[in-house]
Structure 1
Amino acid sequence: MSINTSTKTSPAIRAAAAATFVVFGINGLVFASWAARIPAVTETLHVTSGQMGTLLLCTAVGSLLALPTAGLVVGRIGTANTVRASGLLVALAGAGLALSLSGESIAGTAVCLFFFGIGIGLWDVAQNIEGADVEHRLRRTVMPQFHAAFSGGAFVGALIGAGLSNIGVGLPVHLLVIAGVVALVTLLTPRFFLPHVAAAAPSDGGPKESKGPSAWRDSRTLLIGVVVLGATLTEGAGNDWIAKASVDGLHTSESTGALMFALFVLAMTAMRFFGGRVIDAYGRVVVLRASMAAAAAGLCLFVLAGNVWLAAVGAALWGVGAALAFPMGMSAAADDPQHAAARVSVVSTLGYISFLAGPPLLGYLGDITGIHLALLAILAPIVLALVLAGAAKPLRSK
């Protein structure tokens, strides 16, 4: 763990930063541990790709139902207890998946994936709110490093999944072990989170939650959400389609397509680890605009390049551009700590809608134009995010 913390920072804040980093990493680990073994699920349940897509939709529906209410949950019980509750739900859902797969039950798998999605959605919002709070206390940008932890955890999870599959360890056993790890880490790690301060009652004489407009009617929050929507579509499209587009558009082998995807992820993860200093030096809006410009340039180079080497440069530049926008959006949504939970929930919901729905829509477009050219459709939300980047300007301290 490499979050840069000053020696002048209090031990409690340093501990909270480390705990948040771990929670982000475990979130990525559990997500990729499942995703890496989806082929094993299709084989176990004897389902087609289309039927597997329907099962995966259960996870998406669960997350999208949980995300709009996550701010209320965090506001009521705090980030630590939300991570504990959501982690337990994910662990129980994982154990249920193991049993359902052992019994080859499609219905049981669908129900467990629905609750898995709810747990992941709540967990995601809570960890981002905690990360934003830690960032405020440290007085420097560290949110990209937390998201780098997620990417790193996902990379490790994918390697574990591939390794266990290679040596013949069954998916039910894998899921049960992951469920145990998730339950243990999410129960113990949040004890180091920053204390939750509930809104005071009027009689307390202390600060209380504003009764103003809903976060869904706050114009700045919605504009930030649109920026994040464009950013998550950029990232999601790269994750889902860059390997396939390399094979179809550049006529490369599947292994070369996989390497192109790995380059995209590596560039994105590296930028998240080191991007905080860039944001602190040049400001959130400037870096956000530069990120979207880099993503657009990288995407165009990847799609229009006539050879693999230029396409590889484009893939790396695309990954660099996609890296920082989402964590910056989370930071911007949490600028006002009093409303952070509700606003992060709104921005996360808009981002997840794009992340989950965008790549399939690109797939449908790809049936008409070919997935390689279909990726150019992402330019529209990228340009929109670039134009609206000013909405992420930090709020002035009151």
Structure 2
Amino acid sequence: MSTNTGTARTAGVTAAAAATFVVFGINGLVFASWAARIPAVTEILSITSGQMGTLLLCTAVGSLLALPTAGLVVGRIGTANAVRFGGVLAAAAGVGIALSLSAASIAGTAVSLFFFGIAIGLWDVSQNIEGADVEHRLRRTIMPQFHAAFSGGAFIGALVGAGLSNLGVGLPAHLLAIAGVVLVATLVAPRYFLPHVASVPPEGGAKPAKGPSAWRDSRTLLIGVVVLGATLTEGAGNDWIAKASVDGLGTADSTGALMFALFVLAMTAMRFLGGRVIDAYGRVAVLRASMAAAAVGLGLFVLAGNAWIAAAGAALWGIGAALAFPMGMSAAADDPHRAAARVSVVSTLGYVSFLAGPPLLGYLGDLVGIHQALLAILAPIVVALLLAGAARPLRKE
């Protein structure tokens, strides 16, 4: 009987891992379907980089309102229902964006992006909590592979975006199709999720010891600051590589989308390999090496005199940006019984830069050009390097 129970539990964890992988992948697909075609948005709405930054800020505000309470939502309705709610809202917002772009309505696009941000914020925290649960059950580092699924979905989304741009397919039609995919995937996949581990008492039935609020826990806050600095390099790359390629290198929109796809492909590859690398060398060493690679890649991309060198820089930038966010999520979830609250805190702090940083770069881009504005990312990269020790695990890696 115990053998059958153990087999069933193993199968359940395997199914949950597969479902989590799918949910992360669809999240990346929907994000890239928007990000890869930002140049088309500026053309449809006839707006500047700074005005595009304001639209992106609408997404950031929505997410930043949702993130601090996402842990509480997950605690009440579970990760599966939280992902379902986030997916349905994201699909509805995608339809709103498509209709607003068809009408060339800046206001409608802004409102739709606000709700899109709320949906993505809730969806992101929920999938990371589920991923942390699976990681604890498997007893090995797998979070980077879930984030590789996100990057893989984004890579596919970027390629689709580039292809549709070349074929002259409008962005509204593209977004409507993606909304349908999101709706189906987020309603079906979460049925295989595990019950959140925080609802399961420790061995022996004892209640977990109470500790300080996640917002007053010094380690959690330091991890959040590290993630805040580190994830700006990923967020800026996601939102601005395509546009910076077009403006700074004079490439076509489709080439800009391909440059974004290369950035995402490099992140995807590194995230698939990242679990073994982290287990071998430790979070702190890998985080520092990642930030160094991101700085060098960023410099190459911005200072390159031609598209080929810029492409090499974009790839190295993607490699450096790959592991910071998943390592932050794993570090926040080291204590599984406090994971929901702490992942919510670290996600909130990380998304301050991940979502709010790129719009600010858009404003700076109006002054110096978005291509040169990307050099401002070097400052938070240095901060992440200096504070990387905060991600040291509570347990032995």
TM-score if structure 2 supplies the norm length? 0.84
Trace 1:207-226 onto structure 2 (pairs within 5 A): 207-208=206-207, 211-226=210-225
Aligned ranges 1:338-349 → 2 under 5 Å = 338-349=337-348
How far apart, in 1, do the equivalents of 2:17 and 2:79 lie? 13
- Give 1:365 deviation, angstroms: 4.1
Identity score, percent: 83
Q: Which amino acid in 2 is paired with 1:84?
A: R
The residue aligned with 1:3 is: none
Relative to 1, partners in 2 of residues 1:365 and 1:84: Cα closer, same or farther, differing over 3 Å? closer
Q: How does 1:58-73 map to 2 (within 5 A)?
A: 58-73=58-73
Counterparts in 2 of 1:245 and 1:160: CA distance versus 1, 3 Å: closer
Is the CA contact 1:199–1:208 (under 8 Å) kept in the aligned structure 2? Answer: no
SS of residue paired to 2:25: helix
Q: CA deviation at 1:271?
A: 0.7
Give the aligned partner of residue 322 of structure 2. 323
Kept in 2, the 8 Å contact 1:83–1:122? The answer is yes
- Alignment partner, residue 136 of structure 1: 136
Letter of the 1:86 counterpart? G
- The reply on whether 1:32 has 2:32 as its aligned counterpart is yes
Question: How many angstroms apart in 1 are the aligned matches of 2:117 and 2:209?
Answer: 30
| Distance change in 2, residues 1:363/1:134 (3 Å) | same
Partner secondary structure for residue 335 of structure 1: coil
Other structure's SS at 1:10 match: helix
Q: 1:197-218 CA deviation, whole Å, 9 max, x = no partner?
A: 56489xxx94546553221111
Q: Name the residue aligned to 1:125.
A: 125
Contact 1:243/1:261 (8 A) holds in 2? yes
Q: How many Å apart are 1:293 and its aligned residue?
A: 2.2
Quick one: structure 1 residues 113 and 363, their matched pair in 2 at CA, closer, same or farther if it must change by over 3 Å?
Answer: closer
Q: Does 1:284 align with 2:283?
A: yes
- Partners of 1:183 and 1:87 lie apart in 2 by 6
- For 2:194, what is the secondary structure of its paired residue? coil
Whether the 8 Å CA contact 1:223–1:391 is kept in 2: the answer is yes
Note the 1:319-398 alignment, pairs <5 A: 319-366=318-365, 371=370, 373-396=372-395
Distance in 2 separating the partners of 1:164 and 1:395: 47
Q: Give the match for residue 82 of structure 1.
A: 82
Provide the C-alpha distance between the structure 1 equivalents of 2:346 and 2:168, rounded to a whole number of angstroms.
41
- 8 Å contact 2:90–2:120 — kept in the other structure? yes
**Alignment: residue pair count:** 386
Shift of 1:51: 4.8
Structure 2 counterpart of 1:157, one-letter code:
G
Quick one: structure 1 residues 269 and 348, their matched pair in 2 at CA, closer, same or farther if it must change by over 3 Å? Answer: same
- State the distance in 2 between where 1:278 and 1:8 align: 30
Question: What do residues 261-308 of structure 1 show as CA deviations (whole Å, max 9, x unaligned)?
Answer: 444332222111111111111111121122122223333444556776
Q: 1:211 to 1:294 in 2, by over 3 A?
A: same
Q: CA RMSD in A?
A: 3.2
The aligned amino acid for 1:280 is: D
**Cα deviation, residue 230, structure 1:** 1.4
Gaps of 5+ in 2: 1-6
Amino acid at match of 1:81: N
Match of 2:233 in 1: 234
For residue 91 of structure 2, what is the aligned residue in structure 1?
91
Q: Does the 8 Å CA contact 2:158/2:258 hold for their aligned counterparts?
A: no
Structure 1 segment 151-166 matched on structure 2, within 5 A? 151-166=151-166
Q: Displacement, 1:356? A: 2.0
| CA–CA separation in structure 1 for the residues paired with 2:303 and 2:85 | 47
Q: Which residue of 2 aligns with 1:149?
A: 149
* Separation in 1, partners of 2:340, 2:123: 12
Larger relative contact order (CA 8 Å, sep ≥ 6): 2
2:3 — aligned with what? none
Can you list the C-alpha shifts for 1:72-130, whole angstroms capped at 9, x where unaligned? 11111111111011112222223344455556655444333222211111000001111
Q: CA 1:91/1:223 → structure 2, altered by over 3 Å: closer, same or farther?
A: same
- Equivalent pair of 1:9/1:138 in contact (CA under 8 Å): no
Alpha-carbon distance in 1 for matches of 2:374, 2:103: 40
Aligned partners of 2:300 and 2:309 also within 8 Å:
yes
Write out per-residue CA displacement over residues 32-63 of structure 1, whole angstroms, 9 at most, x where no aligned residue.
2233445555566x553455543433222111
Q: TM-score, normalised by structure 1?
A: 0.84
* Displacement after TM superposition at 1:386 (Å): 1.4
Q: Match for residue 4 of structure 1?
A: none
Alpha-carbon shift at residue 358 of structure 1 (Å) = 2.1
